A and B are shown apart, each in its own frame.
Chain A
C-alpha cells in the first residue's frame, strides 16, 4: 500500500555522465517494494509535480534509485546532499510477476534500474545495452552480485559487443533455458524483444513509461490503449504483458 516516506539521503552521486545513483534510508518502503514498481519523488515545494523514478534496489532497507539529470527537476535533485531528507511517495504500480525458474532480464540504458531489483529478487541472467562504455560499466558492477550471467552491448562498440541488446538475444535464448523475459528500456527495443519472445513462446513483460501527475490512477495523464481496453501506466502498469500492449500481427504498438 502506497504511502509517503520522509527518507534520509545516504548517497547521491554521479556514476556516469549526468546519471546519478541516489540511495535513501527507507526500511518500510524497501520492505513493501516489488521489482518493477516506482516512486514519486518530491523535488521541492516549488514544483507542481513529483518525478516518477523506478526502484532499483532495496537491500538493507536502503532504497536505490537511478536518474538522468535532464531537466530542471532532476538537476535540482542531483544537488541534494547526504543527510538531507527526501519526500517519497511509493511504492507505486504493479511490478513484474514473480516466476519459477530463471528469467532473462533485457534492459537498455536507464531501463536497467527496475531490472536491478528483479535481479535481487529473482534468479536471473541479464542482457544490457548502453550507448557507450561509461553507461554500461556501472550497471555491470551493480548486477554482478545478483545476476548469474551478464551479456553486454554498446551502441558505439567502446565496450563489449558493438550493437544493440537485441542482436545477442537469439543466441542467448538458444543457449539458456528461461521461464520468461522481463524487459525495460526504449519502446522500440522492448517491441523487438517482445516479438522475439513471442516467436519462442516465452512469456514477456515490458515496462512502460509515460508522463504522469498523480501516480495513483486518478488524473489519467498516463492512459494507454491495450488489448484489454484503456489502462493507466501508473496503476495498472507500469508492467504489462507484452501481448497486451504490442500487436504482433501488424508489428505496431497499440499507442
Chain B
C-alpha cells in the first residue's frame, strides 16, 4: 500500500496521518501508549491546561446518553507550570504535542501562549469553548470580539501555530470563525461539545454535579459535519474537524465537508486503539476512490 496516502501538512506541521486525538479524551498521550502508535497520529491535543492547577467539578462527571455521553469534568489539570517541568519533557519526543489551553482573561491566553513557545510544543490550541467552567472558555467562544481578542493575544506571544477551538453553542459559527481568522488564527478546530442536560426522574435532580454538561459522541456528528461545512465556506485557514467520529467513514464525511484533518475524541473511550483502525480504513477508502493523497478529498462535497 502507498505509504504516503495519509501524509499531509498542516500549518507547517508534518503529519504522518491527518488524525489527531482530541483534547480531554486522551490525557497526555502516554495513557494510550499500549494501544496506539503515537507517532502515527497527526498529533495529540493534550488535556486542557490552565495557568494554575484546577480540581474540576464536584459530583458525577459523566453519564451515557443515546449514542453519546455528557461530561462536566471542569478542566481538571495540573497547571501549565507542572506540564512544562514534568510532563512535556516526558512526552515531547513521542508525539506531536498540541497543547490545549484555557484562561479566565484575555491576558491569560497571551501568557499561556508565551509560556508554551518552547521546544516540544508543535502547536497551541485555544479552548474558547469549554461549556463546563464558569470563569473562562466559552465566554470567549460565544462572542466575536472576545474570540478575536483572545486569538490576537495568543498570536502576539508565540511563534507556534495557533489553532482556535470553536464552540457549537452559538447562533452563527461562521461569524466567530471569521473573527478569529481575521485576528490571525492559523487553523480552526471544531466542534467542542454541545451543552446538554440529563435529569434523574427518581431523585428529580440533574444527573451531573455541574447540572449541565457537554454532549459528545456519535449523536453530535451530523451537527459537527454541518458546522465544518459552513465554516469551510467562510474561511481560508485549514480546519480540524471533530465531533462523534467513530470510523473512517465518519472521518471521510468531515474531509469531504472541508476539514484538512480530523480529531477523534469520545470514541477513544470504548476503543482505545480506534485512531489506528480509522487510519487503516481511511487508506483503504482513499484507494477505493482512486485517490493518491487525503488532500484530494478535502472539501470535495458536491
Contact = CB atoms under 8 A, between A and B. Distances in A.
Report whether chain A binds chain B. yes
- By CB atoms of chain B within 10 A, which of A47, A212, A213 has the most? A213
B184 interface: no
A214 interface: yes
Interface residues of A, number: 27
B121 to A, nearest CB: 20
Given A49-B69, A223-B76, A214 B25 contact: yes
B118 interface: no
A198 interface: no
B199 to A, nearest CB: 16
A211 B72 CA distance: 12
Nearest to B55: A230
A214 B63 contact: no
Given A4-B272, A211-B60, A223-B56, A217 B217 contact: no
Contacts of B272: 4, 89, 214, 216
B63 A211 contact: yes
A47 B269 CA distance: 11
B31 to A, nearest CB: 4
Contacts of B56: 220, 223
A2 B219 CA distance: 29
Interface of B: 24-27, 31-32, 34-35, 47, 55-56, 60-65, 67-69, 71, 73, 76, 217-218, 266, 268-270, 272-273
27 contacts: A3-B34, A4-B35, A4-B272, A42-B270, A47-B64, A47-B270, A48-B64, A48-B69, A48-B269, A73-B64, A211-B63, A214-B31, A216-B272, A217-B27, A217-B31, A218-B25, A218-B26, A219-B62, A219-B73, A220-B47, A221-B61, A221-B71, A222-B61, A223-B55, A223-B76, A230-B55, A235-B31
